[in-house]
Structure 1
Amino acid sequence: MNNQTLQSLRQLKLTGMADGFEQQLAQPSTHSELGFDERLALLVDRERTHRDNNKVGRLLKAAKLKLQAFPEDIDYSHPRGLIKSQFAGLLSSNWIHQHHNVLITGPTGCGKTYLGCALATQACRHGLSVRYYRSSRLLEALSIAHGDGRFSKLVQQLAKTDLLVLDDWGLEKLTLGQRNDLLEIMEDRHGISSTLITSQVPINHWHKAIGDAMLADAILDRLLHNSHKIKLRGESMRKTKSEIAEVDQLE
């Protein structure tokens, strides 16, 4: 009968419950003193955890993050201006539910991409959809989509994504077509979903990087409104870690 029950659970795709039931059968002494209600509650909890983990896995795969970045591994000791209390507040993902944006700026190697991917990972853990793009790659994808007729579909997909991560923003001056595409994306997302941007370029130079005054005003108005700003500073963390590694090797 137990084998039949296990088979039925797996056919019904209740994998978490099936695994939990197998565990109860394998460890009778651990569960023998529990009542039926308690054992059933354990099985239901196991199924819910299994489904939650699967969902997070699917969201992370769809996000296509550049880095595997985990909030618990963030280095707050490095002198780069990262305020732990501010970042801890962002890790709650409430800013995404409130449709706010996050703008992370700083010099090369200070960990902007890692921090952005850590916030994106946490958003996936909270059941939110995420999509990562290097800014130049997104603009390229939009240009190609114009040519093959997928532009509207791509823009709609981006609009439905809870968090859009744009990495390495502002490194190249935009063309008129790129400005218009970017404005359309920001217009669709404004007040509905969130955007996270990392950039080596200080925010007060973004207007110039976009190029056209009127379009720059329109784009930045939607980005800067209700935004949380993290301004990093200091030497490259990669350089510091390399120097530490060299010292360790000499010792």
Structure 2
Amino acid sequence: MLLLLVLFLLTVLFFLFGTHGWDEKALKNIVKQLETQLNHEISQATDQRPEDLWIKEKEYLQPYNPILLNSLVDHDLTRKVSNESMITYLGNKYSVPVKYIGQTVNVKVTDQKLMIYHASRLVRQHYLSDKKLNYHRDDMKEILGTTIFHDLDDDNLAEQLTAKEITYRTERSAKMSIHIAHFPYDKGLNDFDFNFQPSVDKNRIMNLKSMNFVSLAQNILFIGSSGVGKTHLATGLGMEACRNHLSTYFVNCHELIERLKLAHQENRLEAILKNYSRYKLLIIDEIGYLPIDDLGSDLFFQLIARRYEKKSTIITTNIPLSKWGQTFSNPTIANAILDRLVHHSEIFKITGKSYRMKDYQEQQTTETNR
């Protein structure tokens, strides 16, 4: 509503003063800036950012029922059968006999039915559905690749189909959670080169994939110089948390401090602290690269204090814990923050070489050998 009000006022101003120096392009830029700012700010009503809510809700928002609408009109379309022996119509998948995999079929939609033709011959018929996956019993037997399913009754076959549908929905949910978490890149724990970084205990890291540390509200601290893989490991654990349906968010320390300070200035600190406190796992990256003033230190402490013994936090830092007093302007607050982070935590000190320098040296060697 606030965005609509702002747009309305700007439109009125444009029409009133358009001939006295207002430029249409400039107005559009102002509107775009306001839209971006408002979409990034945390709403006091929902304690979430509009852009995050939009990602969650957009797949459920439909101005009309497309299946019902399209069933009223004859359609003759072409589709290529996927390797899963499926074709897609209005975002939903429908099965086709496996012998048509890779081939083009004609699809006719009429009277709530979807009919699939190959070489003018009807090969499969489905009722239109709002389910994401729609299998014909005979197709499913072939897709599952074993004749044992010919002997299953409808209940057992339905159980197999339900399991496949659950897997599909779980994978889709994990992808959405990973997107909303705002990770800097898509790198998992399996992508980490433990041989290059022997100071990292692979077994300790892999044991964390169980997410028991989140259940116990424990923290993880990665300490090491730039480029040793701290952010990669934190991101990998965060992605595992998303796959385990744990609310997760990744944020750079400097960006976090600036958001907290802005919220403090705008009298909405409580809302943003509440928002960051609700995540089961909060990843704060790169503490120590930039100094933190008195206000930033105080606000950061408030956040850590709220999460203490309630939610898990992963920290990456390039400075030893003994020198945090040099990063936070107030040594007393620095000690209070450390006290809450280190208590109930696992600490990883990474002393290896920089991955970035490794990649640079390999690139230089390749160019030299050309």
- Asked if TM exceeds 0.5, the reply is yes
DSSP 3-state at the match of 2:210: coil
Please give the alpha-carbon distance, in whole angstroms, between the structure 2 residues aligned to 1:28 and 1:67: 34
From the superposition, tell whether residues 137 and 28 of structure 1 become closer, same or farther in structure 2 (CA, over 3 Å).
closer
Of 127, 132, 138 in structure 2, the residue corresponding to residue 15 of structure 1 is 132
Matched, 1:81 2:199: yes
**Letter paired with 2:353:** E
Looking at structure 1, the residues matched to 254 and 168 of structure 2 have their Cα atoms a distance apart, in angstroms, of 37
Verify: 1:232 aligned to 2:350, yes or no.
yes
1:228 alignment partner, SS class: strand
Are the equivalent residues in 2 in contact too, given 1:104–1:230 (CA < 8 A)? yes
SS in structure 1 opposite 2:194? coil
| 2:321 paired with 1:200 | no
The match for 1:24 is 140
1:179 aligns with 2:297: yes
Residue 271 of structure 2 is aligned to residue 153 of structure 1: yes
CA displacement, residues 8-51 of structure 1 (integer Å, 9 cap, x when unaligned): 4x2xxx424x2586952875985434332221111110121122
Deviations 1:203-234 (A, max 9, x none): 22113322323322221111111111111112
3-state SS of the aligned residue for 2:282? strand
CA distance in 2, matches of 1:94, 1:122: 12
Q: Distance in 2 between matches of 1:230 and 1:53?
A: 30
Asked if residue 217 in structure 1 is aligned to residue 299 in structure 2, the reply is no
For 1:21 and 1:215, locate their aligned partners in 2 and report how far apart those are by CA, in whole Å: 65
Identity of aligned residues (%): 24
2:113 and 2:145 map into 1 onto residues whose CA distance is 17
Deviates more, 1:102-111 or 1:203-212: 203-212
Rounded Cα–Cα distance in structure 1 between residues aligned with 2:127 and 2:153: 20
In 1: Cα distance, 2:290 partner to 2:183 partner = 22
Q: In the alignment, which residue of structure 1 is the partner of 2:159? A: 41
TM-score calculated relative to the size of structure 1: 0.88
Query: Aligned pair in 2 of structure 1 residues 184, 29: CA closer, same or farther (>3 Å)?
Result: closer
CA contact (8 A) 2:126 2:136 kept: no
In the superposition, relative to structure 1, how do residues 247 and 224 fare at CA in structure 2: closer, same or farther (>3 Å)?
Answer: same
**Equivalent residue, structure 2, for 1:51:** 169
1:21–1:199: structure 2 CA closer, same or farther, 3 Å change rule? Answer: farther
Give distance in 1, aligned partners of 2:357 and 2:363.
Answer: 10
Deviates more, 1:157-166 or 1:215-224: 215-224
Secondary structure of the 1:32 match is helix
Deviations 1:152-206 (A, max 9, x none): 2111111110111111102233222111111110111011101111111112211
Where does the alignment leave 5 or more consecutive residues of structure 2 unmatched? 1-111, 115-124
Higher relative contact order (CA 8 A, sep 6+): 1
Q: SS of the residue aligned with 2:221?
A: strand
1:238 is aligned with what amino acid? Answer: R
- State the shift of 1:248 in Å: 4.1
Query: Which stretch of structure 1 is more off in the superposition, 236-245 or 96-105?
Result: 236-245
Larger Cα Rg: Structure 1 or Structure 2?
Answer: 2
Is 2:254 aligned against 1:136?
yes
Partner letter of residue 140 of structure 2? Q
TM-superposed deviation, 1:144: 1.4
In 2, Cα distance between the equivalents of 1:228 and 1:79? 18
TM-score (norm 2): 0.61
**Which structure features the higher share of strand residues?**
2
1:99 aligns with 2:220: no
Tell me the equivalent position of 1:188.
306
Cα distance between partner residues in 1 of 2:170 and 2:324: 39
Q: What whole-Å deviation, never above 9, does each CA across 1:42-94 have from its counterpart, x for those lacking one?
A: 11101211221122122111110112111221111004511111111112211
C-alpha contact (below 8 Å) 1:102/1:229 kept by paired residues: yes
Write the distance in 2 (CA, Å) between the matches of 1:39 and 1:219: 55
- Paired amino acid for 2:128: Q
- The 8 Å contact of residues 21 and 43 in structure 1, kept in 2 or not, is answered as no
1:111 aligns with 2:229: yes
Between 1:95-104 and 1:208-217, the stretch displaced more is 208-217
Q: Which moved more, 1:230-239 or 1:118-127?
A: 230-239
